[in-house]
Amino acid sequence: MGKSSPGELWTLNFEVTMGVMAEVEPEVREQGLEMKEFFLLGKLDDHPYPADLARALITPKPTITFMVKRLESVGFVKRQTETGDLRRFRLTLTPSGRKAMEAARAILDEAFERRLARLSRSERAELARILVLLSEKNAPPR
């Protein structure tokens, strides 16, 4: 096991993540969702506007337009014009959209659960703690 530069370490991490995603993708697709659409739906409660989603998902606005268009056409998302700001559309999950999203989440949970089974309880807790630290918005360097 060689030395790991931060980048190599993170490449490892990235590959684990991508591997698990690739693993669950077929099953998620059976719920009528692409992986990217699943992530979009998962953000919808906190980020109900397309431009908001674009920022949260680090994805160009046109891509969001097309994804939302499809999700609306299959009845997973409802789009209503926002009273008070005619530029915006407020997006909401329909019941079937929420159902699909939660089913997909369960599938992802299960796959990561299998992967995390390699760790002890305390290692998992430590990992969770560290990841939260790393994800926090305003970087407090020590």
51 binds a second copy (CB under 8 A): no
Applying CB under 8 A, among 16, 61, 81, 92 the residue interacting with a second copy is 16
Residue 11 contact among DNA, a second copy, none, beta carbon within 5 to 8 Å by kind: a second copy
Distance between CA atoms of 28 and 22, rounded to whole angstroms?
10
Query: If you count them, how many residues does the chain have?
Result: 142
Distance in Å, CB of 142 to DNA, minimum: 33
Distance between CA atoms of 83 and 1, rounded to whole angstroms?
59
**CB burial string 99-138: b at 16+ within 10 A, e below:** ebbebbeebbeebbeeeeeeeeeeeeeeeeeeeeeeeeee
Distance in Å, CB of 100 to a second copy, minimum: 14
Q: Which residue, 69 or 114, has its beta carbon nearer to DNA?
A: 69
99 binds a second copy (CB under 8 A): no
For the chain, strand residue ranges (E) read: 77-81, 89-93
Q: How far is CA 50 from the centre of its chain?
A: 15
Distance in Å, CB of 106 to DNA, minimum: 23
Give the binding range for a second copy (CB under 8 A) out of 44-52, 67-75, 87-95, 129-137.
129-137
Binding mask 91-130 for DNA (x = CB under 7 A): ----------------------------------------
H helices within 30-94, ranges in order?
A: 35-43, 50-56, 61-73
Q: Which residues bind DNA (CB under 7 A)?
A: 36, 49-52, 59-69, 84-89
